[in-house]
Amino acid sequence: MKMKSPTLFVAVLASILCSSGCATRTTASGGRETNVLGGAFTVATNSFQPTTPATADVDTTKLVGRGNPSGAKTTLLRGLITLRDY
């Protein structure tokens, strides 16, 4: 099936992204977790949760060299990439 108009595809994609919204909840550890674009981008504070083996995990404390981790975790593309500070 061939799309007749690329602008129709862009309009449908934009409406899906705009309607997905964002949500914030308080976690059991007392932190906050915010999901944007239906979970495509997630930011969590006071997380300290282990990452799953299916993610590309980046420990920012080793990149920056900070001695006091904040517990922040950012996931992209529903957990495909995880940036964590703990």
| Pairing relationship of beta strands 73-76 and 22-26 according to DSSP bridges | unpaired
Q: What is the pLDDT of residues 30-56, one digit of tens each?
A: 888 888 877 788 888 888 888 888 888
Domain boundaries, the chain: 22-84
Q: How many CB atoms lie within 10 A of CB 22?
A: 12
Indicate the helix (H) or strand (E) that contains 18: helix 6-20
Q: What is the pLDDT of residues 49-79, one digit of tens each?
A: 888 888 888 887 777 766 677 788 888 888 8
